[in-house]
Structure formats: structure tokens, C-alpha cells
Amino acid sequence: MAIDLVRWGMIGCGDVAEVKSGPGLQKARGSRLVAVMRRDRARAEDYARRHGVPRFYDDGAALIADPEVDAVYIATPPSSHRSYAEQAAAAGKPVYVEKPMATTHAECLAMIAACERARVPLFVAYYRRALPRFLKVKELLAAGAIGEARLVTITLRQPVDPRQTDRANLPWRVVPAVAGGGLFLDLASHTLDLCDSFFGPVTEASGVAANQAGLYDAEDIVAAHLRFASGVVGVGSWCFTAGDRLDGVEIVGSQGTLTFATFDEVPVVLTRGGASESFVIPHPPHIQQPLIQSIVDTLGGRGECPSTGVTGARTSWVMDQVLAEYRAHAR
């Protein structure tokens, strides 16, 4: 049954919910954020007060049970995604879960199964699929602007965040028990998911990973080889203990190239026949709002969201394959 007004309950009120997603739930057409949850009740109350949300909880089950909540957005670290998703599905409520979808592909499959049993949709916050900048890349590829796509090269390197040097107080993104791995899962997942949207599913993936700096227990450098169903071949490298920063994706075609960045605010550049054309396409103020709008439109029977449990699970499968050898030796 189509939902005319989607009333959201949000589990987790951390940094991602302040600007990227929470306001998007409020500003999307046909959408309203009516309840938030955080285990720290005072912080949940503070978020609700500052963002004009009528109700707050310190228990996820209570939020899910709220009869005024139509759909549940899970904005917690990956280790709790499966549990909350299964609870929301059991309550018959559509689920929108942060990325990465879960700590492993097996957990993703369990989430998909739970939502299928309950006959509720499952969406994943790979919001770059709905951003105009990356839709432009997809449009150029579909129009044959570089001929047939042949190769994609992904590079991300960045210096150590000082917060990652205190082993007694590490951020959850580099704690494998909570994140499923390190920054590779958190950051590389965005680019890998974009490539899935450009070239179709990855059919073969392998990689090497290491913990070179020893700052935490997760991998801090990864290199990967990929093959897509479309025939495109991919290579990627991610280094999180570098001396400088570089964020770049290059798609090589039979007649030209496309370059862009996954995270940095730089133009999309099309090069063909010795000439280059730049496309400057800014992101919206609330970066998840376009994807949230597609979810609301899907629930209202007016559209189709490009990021589902099925697509999100594919990205987790790729990361599992790339990290398989490293994880085997890390145990």
C-alpha cells in the first residue's frame, strides 16, 4: 500500500544525522522525522530539541514499536544494523540503513531475507547513486561520451587522523568488531557501489590488505582487482596512512576518459580527442536528501530508489572478497 506521508523514526543521532541525513528526512517531499533514538537519552533529547523532532527514545525497540513511526532509518555503526533491521522488518516497517549495509555479506543476506519474509522494502544509504554529480557520470557513460568503458582506476589516500592514534579511545570506524573492518569498509564502499551503478555487478574480486602502521587492529592499506559483468576491469588502491591526500577515479574508454572524485569537491572532467570539458556540479546542502526523496517516492508508489538491500549487499560481497585473505590471516 502506498504511503502518502512517510513518518520516520531514526535510530542513532550521531554526526551523519546532523546535516547529511536527518534534515533530509524532514525536508524531502512527503516525509517527516517524528522520532529519534540514542542510547544516551540526554543526547537524544538534545537532538530532538535542536531539530524540532516531537519524540525521542533511548531504546531502539521502543522507537520501532511507536505506532506513529511508518519507516525506520538505522544510523548506527554497522555491527547493529542487522539486529535493528530485523526488528523493524518484524514490525512491518520499511527499513533504510546506513552504509556499509552490515559488517559482512552474510549479515546483508540475513537482512534481505528478514525484509522479504515481512514483505517490507529495504534501502541502503549509498546516497551517491542519487547525487546529480554522479548521475552526470552515468549519463555520459550511457551516451557513449568515452566510447565503450574499458578500465576504472580508483585511488584514495589520506594522512592519519590524529584521533586514530589513541588506542584507548579509537573511533568506531577503525574497530573491526564494530565496523567490520577499517576505513576501507567505510570509504571504499562508496566508490565500489558507484561503480556497481555504472558498470553492473562485480563478478570477480580479489585483493591484498595489510596493517602497516599498527595504529589499530584493522587494515590500513588495500589493493584490489575487479571484473564487472559488463566486461569492465577495475583496479583500486586505498592507503590511510599516507603523507598526502588524493581522491580520484578514472574511467578509461575506447574513445576518451572520465575523471572525478568520490569525496572531494572537484569537477567531473571528460577528455576526448585531445579536448577536455569540465562539469561543475555542487552537492545539495543535505547530501542524502535526493536518495531519501527517491525512497519516499518509492514508498508512495511514485518512483524507484536506486539503492536497495540487493545492491548494497553486492558491495559488501566485493569488500568481503577483497579482504578475504587478510581476514583469514588476522584471526
Output the CATH code of domain 132-282: 3.30.360.10
CB neighbours (10 Å) of residue 8?
28
Whether 6-127+287-306 shares its CATH topology with 132-282 is answered no
Query: Which amino acid is residue 128, in one-letter code?
Result: R
pLDDT tens for the chain, 331 residues long, are 678 899 999 999 988 999 999 999 999 999 999 999 999 999 999 999 999 999 999 999 999 999 999 999 999 999 999 999 999 999 999 999 999 999 999 999 999 999 999 999 999 999 999 999 999 999 999 999 999 999 999 999 999 999 999 999 999 999 999 999 999 999 999 999 999 999 999 999 999 999 999 999 999 999 999 999 999 999 999 999 999 999 999 999 999 999 999 999 999 999 999 999 999 999 999 999 999 999 999 999 999 999 999 999 999 999 999 999 999 987 6
Encode the chain in three state secondary structure. CCCCCEEEEEECCCHHHHCCCHHHHHHCCCEEEEEEECCCHHHHHHHHHHHCCCEEECCHHHHHHCCCCCEEEECCCHHHHHHHHHHHHHCCCCEEECCCCCCCHHHHHHHHHHHHHHCCCEEECCHHHHCHHHHHHHHHHHCCECECEEEEEEEEECCCCHHHHCHHHCCHHHCHHHHCCCHHHHHHHHHHHHHHHHHCCEEEEEEEEECCCCCCCCCCEEEEEEEECCCCEEEEEEECCCCCCEEEEEEEECCCEEEECCCCCCCEEEEECCEEEEECCCCCCCCCHHHHHHHHHHHCCCCCCCCEHHHHHHHHHHHHHHHHHHHHHHC
CA-based nearest residue to 145, from 137, 153, 157 = 137
Kindly report the length of the chain.
Answer: 331
* pLDDT value, residue 1: 60
pTM of the model: 0.96
* pLDDT value, residue 4: 86
Kind of pairing between the strands at 246-253 and 149-157: antiparallel
User: In the chain, how long is the greatest CA-to-CA distance?
Assistant: 60
Q: What are the domain boundaries of the chain?
A: 6-127+287-306, 132-282
- The CATH H-level superfamily of 6-127+287-306 is NAD(P)-binding Rossmann-like Domain (3.40.50.720)
